[in-house]
Amino acid sequence: MLRYHSLVLIPSDHCNISCRHCAPECGPTVRHPWDVPLLERCISEAAQIPNLRKNIHFAGGEPFLYFAQMLQLARHAHRHHFSSSIVTNGFWGVNKVRAAGMIAGLVEHGLRRVELSVDHFHLEFLPVRTIRQSIEVLKQAGVFICMRVVTTRKHQIDETLRQFTPDDLDGVEVNASGLIPTGRAIREVNSDEYYSSPEGGSGSCAAFLNLTIRPDGNVGPCCAGAENTPSLSLGNVHSLPLDRIAQNAERNLFLKQVVEEGPSSFFERLRDADLGHKIRSEYTSICQACSELFRDAEVVQALGARTDHSNRNDLVNISVV
Amino acid sequence: MLLAGMAVDIGCFENCSDFVDRYSIFSELEKLSLASWSFSTEIGTREAFGNQRVLCNAVAGFRKLLLNPRLFTTGAHFVHRQQTIARLEELGAAGVQQITLCVNEEEAAALGSNCVENLVDGCHAGGIDLRLQFELRDSFTEDCCRIARTVEDRQFTVTVLPVRTRPTRLLPLSDAAPMERRERMQLVLNAAGDVMLRRRTQDEVVDIRAGNAHQQPLHELVMAARARL
């Protein structure tokens, strides 16, 4: 059975800043209103999914731009015994008093963890002082803080660490990972900055799955690229209940191979189909390999055709493209 | 109070002809009926490495109790590449899932980048998650930054836990004030058998001395401390 760490809600790609490395290409001009009634319905359905850990993770976009809606959903989720977590750029720390009030409201309704996206790319837009104030507010509220840092060969982890004091980051988990070249990063970050290696595309992600709902209602098995990959879509909450989508995913053998054996398990089939040139000699990570390969119409068609001969169930999602 | 975990000095164990659990830690922990899913265990309050046989046996003892011990190290033992890889592969096979390279400013300065590289490669070989913990005073020193960059150059994700150094205050159990019901304490057992309940506050680390495991069984000391606190 697939195991999901969280129900990730991406209700909007609207963000107050437009970082150069942003995979979903969020920014101030990308506007979707949050569909709160739909997401409340999804949360209620998520409560029936046995292989989903009872945590709602608000992502985006910048969720704090829609604080009232986020609070309403957190409250609804808490009634269904969900805890909640948020990934945010921390801009709201600019006003400490107001920030403390917002965080206290969320804590009351199950907020346990905040992931602060802080790195060279975010700090092109936001002052360190604001982030420091966000951290202070979160510490006072007793919320677990994880600082997410995107790194490149040019902008390594210590560049971000040095912006803070040990006192600022005492008790904060700093989690750095290499830039994944998808979305805006492909155009705006030099490729010689990426950490890539011949082994980068190896491995699998079965332990890191999150049931993810995109602003258009599409559901993906993770929030690291697959949610924006039509061939990996599990369905759409506008047409199916979320618990039914999760049930269907259990019969999706293509998805199971992707998450359990990783994208590199398809390499041989692609070479057999004369598509070996689609495979890079180096990848930054399995997320890059997954996003690139399964968004490629030729690759998807080739794998779909092969799958067609072996098992029709595999075509459930492949055929979406 | 909540007993959230335990840190055991590797000196609590020794190898003569057989492995010796000097304070009967494993049988004592069984008597405490701990929930393995919520109780974290750490081996090597500063340094778990030095005697591979003792460490493997200690890991096996915790694994039998369904506990997943995290190993703490200052990195000094990883000078030899092949030996490091072989040792970490063995520990990975024994069930170790996480190693924390924990250094203060002086230890960071003394730690060669080659040792860090060997540790990273050994953890890859053993399938072990590596984390960095920096105990710092006022700023992220160049040596800590060098260590973090060395890890980053060799693996895609790096987890750093910065800790501001705090003074430690030792308190006899009789002087300790009662705790709130949900306050988290860590059980610490040093090589001399001293049993402490550790609490971290914003300004200090408080070690409440519950007794000595030479003189009284561990579970009795913990029960008495629980009743008092």
pLDDT in tens, A175-223: 999 999 999 999 999 999 999 999 999 999 998 899 999 999 999 999 9
Once rounded to an integer, what is the mean pLDDT over residues A5-13? 97
Q: How far apart are CA A269 and CA A275, in angstroms?
A: 9
**Residue A316 in this model has a pLDDT that exceeds 50:** no
List all residues 6 or more positions away from B220 whose beta carbon is below 8 Å from its beta carbon: none
User: Residue A306: helix, strand or coil by DSSP?
Assistant: helix
**How open is the CA angle B102-B108-B113, to the nearest 5 degrees?**
100
Render pLDDT for A236-285 as a digit per residue (tens, 0 to 9).
999 999 999 999 999 999 999 999 999 999 999 999 999 999 999 999 99
Contacts of A158 in chain B (CB under 8 A): 140, 144-145, 148-149
| pLDDT, position A315 | 40
C-alpha dist (Å) from residue B164 to A128, A133, B183? 19, 18, 21
In chain A, which residues have their Cβ closer than 8 Å to the Cβ of B164?
Answer: 166-167, 170
pLDDT-based confidence at residue B229 (cuts at 50, 70, 90)? confident
Q: Cβ of B138 under 8 Å from any chain A Cβ? A: yes
**Does an H or E element contain A283, and which?**
none
Identify which of A236, A67, A269, A154 has the alpha carbon closest to the alpha carbon of residue B149: A154
Residue B36 has a pLDDT of 76
Give the torsion through C-alpha atoms of A73, A79, A80, A84, to 10 deg.
50
Q: What's the pLDDT score for residue A86?
A: 98
Q: A320 pLDDT exceeds 70?
A: no
The reply to whether residue B152 touches residue A171, judged by beta carbons under 8 angstroms, is: no
CB nearest B148 (choices: A161, A167, A285): A161
Cβ–Cβ contact B158 with A under 8 A: yes
Q: Is B136 on the interface with A (CB under 8 A)?
A: yes
Tell me what pLDDT residue B45 has: 87
Q: Tell me whether strands A83-88 and A4-9 are parallel, antiparallel or unpaired.
A: unpaired
Please list the alpha-helical segments (H only) found in chain A. 36-46, 67-79, 96-108, 128-141, 157-161, 166-169, 184-188, 242-249, 253-261, 267-272, 286-294, 297-310, 315-318
Lowest mean pLDDT among A152-166, A307-321, B140-154, B209-223: A307-321
pLDDT average, residue stretch B24-28: 95
Those residues of chain A whose CB sits closer than 8 Å to some CB in chain B are 151, 156-158, 161-162, 164-167, 169-178, 195, 200, 284-285
pLDDT computed for residue B183 by the predictor: 85
Q: Are B48 and B78 in contact (CB under 8 A)?
A: no
| pLDDT reading at B6 higher than 60 | yes
pLDDT of A319 reads 35
Using the predicted structure, report yes or no on whether residue A306 has a pLDDT greater than 50. Answer: no
Give me the pLDDT at residue B178, please: 84
**Residue with more model confidence, A174 or B37:** A174
* pLDDT number for residue A310: 43
Q: How many inter-chain contacts (A to B, CB under 8 Å) are there?
A: 71
What does the pLDDT look like over A65-96, one tens digit per residue? 999 999 999 999 999 999 999 999 999 999 99
- A181: enclosing H helix or E strand: none
The reported pTM is: 0.92
- Specify the pLDDT at position A312: 40
| The token pair that represents A175 in the structure block | 């989690």
- Look at B160 and A177 and tell me if their CB atoms are within 8 Å: no
Whole-number Å distance between alpha carbons of A89 and A19: 11
